[in-house]
Amino acid sequence: MAFPDRRHEPVRHESPTLRALRRHWPTAAVVVAILAIWQIWVDAAHPPVTAIASPSRIVVAAAQAWPTLWPATLVTFAEGVCGFLIACIIGVLLGVGIHCSRTAYAALFPLLAAAQTLPLISIAPLFLIWFGFEPVGKVVIVAVFALFPIVVQTMRGLEAVPAFYDDVATTCGASRAWTLFHVDLRVAARQIFGGVRVAAAYVFATAATAEYLGARRGLGIWLQAAYNSFQTPLIFAATFVIIVMTALLLLAVHAVERLTIGAPGDDEDPDA
């Protein structure tokens, strides 16, 4: 029995848009299902509006409060992004320094680990005393809490670089510094971006919480006002705004990763 020869048939390649849809449609479907069930349950059970609000009511409340919600969002967004960028720069530099020096590791790493065990509610009053109600205190808090995962992943990424990369570069006459910044960091970049993503996941929540404990403007103060007036739909609206901002920041990190070192699948191709 003869089988058809398929060797010369053209290979079908999916477009990036189709691949993205195929990859993300299950998440979108689950989100839509959760919102639908939520809306139907609230409409059927009629729980107290001070306890929970339906998605449609949250959207209406957010639209009505948009003149005050948008300025508060801009403040928290600026604080989160500034603190995040500072954490990225200092975190990578500290990770490189700790990787290169055991003395730096012994001196700095325990302090960085201890800083992560401090609850925000206990150190925010100190920053309030030091920096007052100005946004700079919130930027510093965000940078401090976002620093640790970036430092750790930078260290682990550099330690995981195979030794033969350094051997080849040194054999070709490269200096240790050149090898570190042009070879080791490039190989470790994927893991470093993993730490950056972890940090990006909670910068806006940290900024809003710090504002809630003491600030003049921002989503934290806006949330506090909504809570004090028992405006549950507005509390949900601010929560969703923080979620959206976090998603946008994660997308930005993903875009920078693809532009600088390529898609994650490129690592499987030695010629990429």
In this structure, the number of other CB atoms found within 10 A of the CB of residue 11 comes to: 4
Tokens 């609230």 appear where? 42
Tokens, residue 243: 């979620």
The tens place of each residue's pLDDT in the chain, 272 residues long, gives 555 555 554 545 566 667 667 777 788 888 889 989 989 998 888 888 788 888 899 999 999 999 999 999 999 999 999 999 999 999 999 888 888 888 888 888 788 777 777 787 878 788 888 887 888 889 999 998 898 889 989 988 888 888 777 767 777 777 777 777 777 888 888 999 999 999 999 999 999 988 888 878 889 899 998 888 888 899 999 999 999 999 999 999 999 998 888 776 655 544 44
Fill in the DSSP letter of residue 52: -
Question: What are the domain boundaries of the chain?
Answer: 61-263
Tokens, residue 165: 């990369």
**CA neighbor of 230 nearest in space, from 48, 86, 18:** 48
Give residues with Cβ within 8 angstroms of 238, minimum separation 6: 69, 72, 208, 219, 222, 223, 226
Query: Rounded distance, CA 69 to CA 76, Å?
Result: 11
Query: Rounded distance, CA 149 to CA 199, Å?
Result: 6
**CA neighbor of 165 nearest in space, from 182, 151, 147, 152:** 182
To 10 degrees, the CA torsion angle through 200, 79, 148, 104?
Answer: 140
Whole-model pTM over 0.85: no
> Which CATH superfamily does the domain covering 61-263 fall into?
MetI-like (1.10.3720.10)
Query: Rounded distance, CA 174 to CA 167, Å?
Result: 10
* Distances from the Cα of 264 to the Cα of 84, 256, 267, angstroms: 23, 12, 6
